[in-house]
Structure 1
């Protein structure tokens, strides 16, 4: 099919991405999402470019990047190629933060598993 441009309403975009209509409007209002075309009647029409942006913003947010940092990243993306080094640094820093959070969750999971194993063993020896 090639590069067929999407044409999604705000409701369709919300359903497609799992991001609420309210949040999509907020992203546009604060400048996270720019260049969303509108119909003659003023309705937003989202395309492939906006879909990709929203999906990436969602990944950053869902992995704990603060909205201010996502906004900084988005502004750098819109600026020009001279910001690539700074964008890379932001993503590397965030990657490290996510890895640290995953490792912390693994430690918690290990502690929970140890308790499960303890109860299972106690039930085996009691029963």
Structure 2
């Protein structure tokens, strides 16, 4: 194990899933977002405990899902969606409460 990443094992119903966590500066390199912007999204609830883990020394570790989530955010903000619209889209995406077509209809006014 090096100083830049750590493998994290999650036990879920007796199956093991290995997930890679990165430090903030690695996440900025992968997403093109500043640390300030990433922390803003964390405070706004865009990134949650599935995406961010705290070490004993209070350093943040970000999962690969955080990279995917932030790239998703950049895409939708790039087409003009507001933060409120984005939160709604992300909630629907996680809950699978809308079809892809319904989500497209929701973002159509953004475009």
TM-score exceeds 0.5:
yes
Q: Tell me whether 1:76 sits opposite 2:89 in the alignment.
A: no
Decide whether aligned partners of structure 1 residues 5 and 28 sit closer, same or farther in structure 2, where only a CA change above 3 A counts.
same
Kindly indicate which of the two structures has a greater share of residues assigned to strand. Answer: 2
Describe the superposition over 1:4-49 as per-residue Cα deviations: whole angstroms up to 9, x where unpaired: 6332111110121011111110101011111111111121111111
Q: Which has the larger radius of gyration?
A: 1
The 1-side partners of 2:73 and 2:85 are apart by 11
Matched, 1:22 2:28: no
2:21 is equivalent to residue 13 of structure 1 = no
Cα deviation for residue 59 of structure 1 reads: 0.6
CA distance in structure 2 between the aligned counterparts of 1:88 and 1:32, rounded to whole angstroms:
22
Q: Distance in 1 between matches of 2:74 and 2:110?
A: 16
Q: TM-score, length-normalised on structure 2?
A: 0.70
Question: 5+ unaligned residues in a row in structure 2: which ranges?
Answer: 1-16
- State the TM-score, normalized to the length of structure 1: 0.62
Larger helix share, 1 or 2:
1
Number of equivalent positions: 93
| 2:67 equivalent to 1:54 | no
Runs (5+) with no aligned partner, structure 1: 99-127
Structure 1 counterpart SS, 2:60: coil
